[in-house]
Homo-oligomer: A and B are copies of this chain.
Amino acid sequence: MTTRRVAVGEPILGANDRLAQQNRDRLDAAGLFAVNLLASPGAGKTSLIVRTIAALAPRLRLGVVEGDTAPVTIDADRVMAAGSPAVQINTGGNCHLDAQMVAQALPQLPLDGLDVLVVENVGNLVCTAAFQLGTHANVLVASVPEGDDKPYKYPAIFRGLDALVLNKIDLQPYVDFDRDYFLRGVALLNPGVAFFPLSCRSGEGLEAWVDWLAARSAERHA
């Protein structure tokens, strides 16, 4: 780590965005496709990662940066048990990852041996939306039991998405979730965003998501 001087009055986001660009350059040099994975707590980010690792192997190799507010390695342990390298970032109670945290994690991963990098952000639909990390795409994992009003209540995070996963579709019969209402809200904020309804529990719908990820990775290599 090098010490970095920040001019008094310099906007914090400006400093973050410059570090994000340095992360992007490093990821591009490694030929990786990198995803900033966003969600509420408990929507299924880690379950999606574990399922994706299994679906991509042995074609494509996936690495993971795990952001957590507490010094627990539950998620990183699950990822490593699934066969992928993972680095844990403890934000020390902070509510989002920033580019500096990701910059510290990247040298701990074998970037040149990976095809896809997933940065699992802190479970939070508000603060995470405001910080660029240097990744190529923002992907949100929403989930059926969270309810169909999330685009209306947390619009900022939906506006910046490159893909939207709707997890836990196996629970649809047991809850009140109007998918048309949900998608109308999404369309107002982000028309045409790639949409992947799926269930990490049953496996239904995973293929389309994995194909999208593999295609984006292939574009980086091309």
- Shortest CB–CB separation between residue A189 and chain B, in angstroms? 10
A186 at the interface (CB under 8 A from B): no
Question: Which B residues are in CB contact (< 8 Å) with A154?
Answer: 41, 69-70, 123
Complex interface: chain B residues within 8 A of A126 (CB)? 69, 93-95, 122, 124, 127
CA A72 to CA B189, docked complex, whole Å: 14
Measured CA separation A168–B154 after assembly (Å) = 22
A146 proximal to B (CB < 8 A): yes
A interface, CB within 8 angstroms of B: 40-43, 68-70, 72, 74, 93-95, 122-127, 143, 145-147, 149-150, 152-156, 168, 170-171, 174-176, 201
Please tell me how many copies of the chain the complex holds: 2
Q: How far is the CA of A134 from the CA of B212 in the complex (A)?
A: 48
Q: Given A146-B41, A171-B145, verify A69-B123 contact (CB < 8 Å).
A: no
- Looking at the complex, which one of B74, B123, B152 makes contact with A125 (CB distance below 8 Å)? B123
Q: How far is the CB of A51 from chain B (nearest CB, A)?
A: 14
Q: In the assembled complex, which residues on chain B have CB atoms less than 8 Å from the CB atom of A74? A: 149, 152-153
Given A126-B93, A126-B124, A126-B127; A150-B69 close (CB under 8 Å): no
* A93:B153 contact, CB within 8 angstroms: no
Per the bound structure, the CA–CA distance linking A43 and B147 in Å amounts to: 9
By the criterion CB–CB under 8 Å, are A155 and B70 in contact? yes
A94 surroundings in chain B (CB, below 8 A): 126
Q: Which of A94, A124, A175 has most chain B Cβ within 10 Å?
A: A124
Chain B residues near A153 (CB-CB < 8 A): 41, 68-70, 72, 74, 123
